[in-house]
Homo-oligomer: A and B are copies of this chain.
C-alpha cells in the first residue's frame, strides 16, 4: 500500500495562496487608515499570512498540481483562507465575532459567499468600518476563487458533472482558450471586476443624483462587492430594506448577472453575444426567475401570501409596484443564492415561505459564484426523466441529452445526478442533526426553520426563516451546531463530491 497523493504539493500551493492573501488584506488596512481606526487586526494577519505561507511553501520545492493533488488543494484552500480570514475578527474583538467559533463562522460564511451571520449588532457603534469592510470583502474574494474553481478547476477534475461547464461553454477551457489556468482566471476576473465597478458606479450614482441618500460611497462599495459573488452580506442590519426602491431595482440586474455563467459574458464581449442568449442554462435560469417571481407576485398582490401579523412590513395587497419589486427581488435573491432581503419576509405566510424554501434548491448557473444545486442540473434531470419516458415506450431508442451546443456525455450526466442526490440526502440528514442539537441546546425550531437553516448554509444562501430570518442571526445556535454549519458551508461550496473524494481510502492508497 503506497500513498498515491503527493500532499506536499497541495499544502505548498495553499501556502502560496496564503501569501497572496496579503494583497487583499491591504484594502481593510487602508480603510482603517482612512477612518482613523486600528490597523493592528490586519497588520497581524498579514504577518501571519507571510509566515505561514512561507513555511507551508517549503513542503515542496516545485509544486505542480496533479489530478489527485487538485482535490486536496481545493479543500484545504477553502479551510486555510477562512481560518486566516477570521484573525482580524479575533484581534479586533468587536461584538460577538470576538469569540473564535463565531469568528470562524463569519469568516467561512464570507469566503464561501454564504452570507449567514453571527453578528448580533451590525452597526458602526459596535464594529469599525474597516472590520465590516473586511467582512464584505471576504465574499468578493470568495467569489473570485469560486468562479475560477467552477470554470477552470472542477471541470478538469471531472467532479460531480462539472464537465458540463466545458460542454456548456466549449472552447472555454484551460488548454483551448488560454495557455494556462492563470490566463483563464485573468479573463474571468476582468469581467468580475468590471461588473463590480459598474455596480459601485450605479449604486453610488443614485446617491449623487439625489435618489438614495443612504447609499454612501462606503455602502456602494460594500454592497457591490457582495452582489457580484452572490454573497448577501450587508453592513446594514436590515439588509436592502434600508435602501430606496430605486436601489432595490438597480440591485436586481446585478444579482441576475452574478448568477450567470461568466464564460458567457466572455463570449459576449468577444463578438459572440448569441452564445449568451442561446445558452440552455441561461434560458432556463431566466425562465425560472420569471415564473418564480410571477408566482410570488400573485401571492403578494392578492394578499394570499401574507399573514395578518405582517403589519411591520405593510400590506402589499393591490400595491403593484411594491409587490412586483419584492417578489422579483426575493426570487432573484433566493434563486441566485445571494440572500439579500428587500424586506423581512419572516412576516409572510408559511405557504409563501415554503415557496421560497423550494426556491433555495434551484441555485444559479455553473460558472458563477452561485451555490446550491444549480439550474443546469435541474435542466439535465428534466431531460433525463423525459428520455426515460421515451425509452420506456421505445426500448431500443438511443436518445442523447443535449445542452446548447453539444451532446452531453453520459459520464457527465451521471456526475450531475450523483451530486444532486448527495445534496438532497445531506440536506435531510443535516436537518435532522441540527434539529437534534437544537432540542439539546436551543433554539426552538419549526420544521420550516430547521430545513431553511440547513439549506441556507449548505446551499450558501445565508438567511432562512424564523430564527435565522433575514433580520436575525445564527447566534442562538450552540457551538457544535455552528461548527457543523461551517462544515456545511464548506462542503456545499466545494460541490460536496470534491470533499468526499478526499475521504475515500482509494483516493489516498493504492
State the A residues within 8 Å of B (CB). 68, 157-160, 299, 304-305, 349-351, 353-355, 357-358, 361, 381, 384-385, 388-395, 411, 414-415, 417-418, 420-422, 424-425, 428, 431-432, 435-436, 438-440, 445-448, 450-451, 497, 500-501, 504, 506-507
Chain B residues with Cβ below 8 Å from A357 are: 447
The distance in angstroms between the C-alpha atoms of A389 and B392, with both chains bound, is 29
Contact B418 A358 (CB under 8 A): no
Q: Which of chain B's residues have a CB closer than 8 A to the CB of A500?
A: 389
Of the candidates B351, B424, B497, which one forms a contact with A439 in the assembled complex, judged by CB atoms under 8 Å apart? Answer: B351
Given pairs A304-B440, A446-B446, 11 additional interface contacts (CB within 8 A): A354-B435, A355-B432, A358-B432, A384-B417, A384-B421, A389-B501, A391-B411, A393-B501, A394-B506, A417-B417, A447-B447
Asked if A385 and B422 sit within 8 Å, CB to CB, the answer is yes
Q: Which of B159, B160, B350, B436 contacts A446 (CB 8 A)?
A: B350
Q: Which residues of B contact A445 (CB under 8 A)?
A: 350-351
Shortest Cβ distance from residue A304 to the other chain B in the assembled complex, whole angstroms: 5
Most buried by B among A351, A353, A392, A436: A392
Residues in B with CB closer than 8 Å to A68 are: 393
Q: Which residues of B sit under 8 angstroms from A391, Cβ to Cβ? A: 411
Kindly report which residue of chain B lies nearest to residue A305, judged by CB atoms: B439
Assembly CA distance A381 to B420 (angstroms):
11
In the complex, what's the smallest C-beta–C-beta distance from A70 to chain B, in angstroms?
Answer: 11
Nearest Cβ on chain B to A17's Cβ, whole angstroms:
23
Could you tell me the distance between the alpha carbons of A501 and B395 in the complex, rounded to whole angstroms?
13
Chain B residues whose CB sits within 8 angstroms of the CB of A446 once the complex forms: 350, 446-448
B-chain residues with CB within 8 Å of residue A351 when the two chains form the complex: 432, 435-436, 438-439, 445, 450
- Is the beta-carbon distance between A354 and B388 smaller than 8 angstroms? no
Contact of A158 with B395 in the complex, beta carbons under 8 Å: yes
Most chain B CB within a 10 A radius of its CB, from A417, A422, A435: A417
> Please, how many angstroms separate the alpha-carbon atoms of A392 and B158 in the complex?
6
Within the complex, what minimum Cβ distance (angstroms) separates A1 from chain B?
15
**Across-interface contacts of A358 in B (CB, < 8 A):** 428, 431-432
Most buried by B among A68, A414, A425, A507: A414
**Please, how many angstroms separate the alpha-carbon atoms of A486 and B435 in the complex?**
33
CB atoms of B393 and A504 under 8 A apart: yes
**A294 CB to closest chain B CB, in angstroms?**
13
Is A415 a contact of B394 with CB atoms below 8 Å? no
Tell me, rounded to whole Å, the shortest Cβ–Cβ distance linking A305 to chain B. 7
CA distance A28 to B299 in the complex (A): 48
| Docked complex Cα distance between A157 and B305 (Å) | 43
Residues from chain B with Cβ under 8 Å of A411 in the complex: 391
Say whether, besides A424-B424, A435-B354, A497-B389, A447 and B451 are in contact (CB < 8 Å): yes
> What are 21 A-B interface contacts by the 8 Å CB criterion?
A68-B393, A160-B388, A304-B440, A350-B447, A351-B435, A351-B436, A354-B447, A354-B451, A358-B431, A384-B417, A388-B414, A388-B418, A389-B497, A389-B501, A391-B411, A392-B415, A393-B506, A394-B506, A446-B447, A447-B447, A447-B448
One of B384, B435, B501 near A392 (C-beta < 8 A): B501
Residue of B nearest to A435 (CB): B351
Complex Cα distance, B352 from A439, in Å, reads 10
Q: Report A463 CB to chain B, min CB distance, Å.
A: 16
- The list of the 10 closest CB pairs from A to B, nearest first, reads A388-B418, A447-B448, A351-B435, A304-B439, A385-B418, A354-B447, A381-B421, A358-B428, A393-B507, A350-B447
Contact in complex: B390, A506 (CB < 8 Å)? yes
B residues within 8 A CB of A350?
A: 445-447, 450
CA distance A132 to B137 in the complex (A): 67
Q: State the CA gap A422–B388 with chains docked (Å).
A: 11
Q: How far is the CA of A159 from the CA of B447 in the complex (A)?
A: 34
**Is the beta-carbon distance between A354 and B392 smaller than 8 angstroms?**
no
Bound complex: CA A350 to CA B450 (Å): 10
Q: In the complex, A122 Cα to B497 Cα: how many Å?
A: 51
Q: A393-B501, A450-B354 are in contact. Are A349 and B439 (CB under 8 A)?
A: yes
A425 / chain B contacts, CB cutoff of 8 Å:
381
Shortest Cβ distance from A361 into B: residue: B428
**Minimum C-beta distance from A189 to chain B (A):** 27
On whether the beta carbons of A389 and B504 are closer than 8 Å, the reply is: yes
Q: Which residues of B contact A497 (CB under 8 A)?
A: 388-389, 392
Q: What is the CA–CA distance of A501 and B358 in the complex, to the nearest angstrom?
A: 26
Give the chain B neighbours of A501 by CB distance below 8 A: 389, 392-393
With both chains docked as a complex, state the minimum distance between the C-beta of A303 and any C-beta of chain B, in angstroms: 10
Partner of A432, one of B354, B420, B431, B507: B354
A452 to chain B, nearest CB (A): 9
CA distance A326 to B421 in the complex (A): 31
| A298 shortest CB reach to chain B, Å | 9
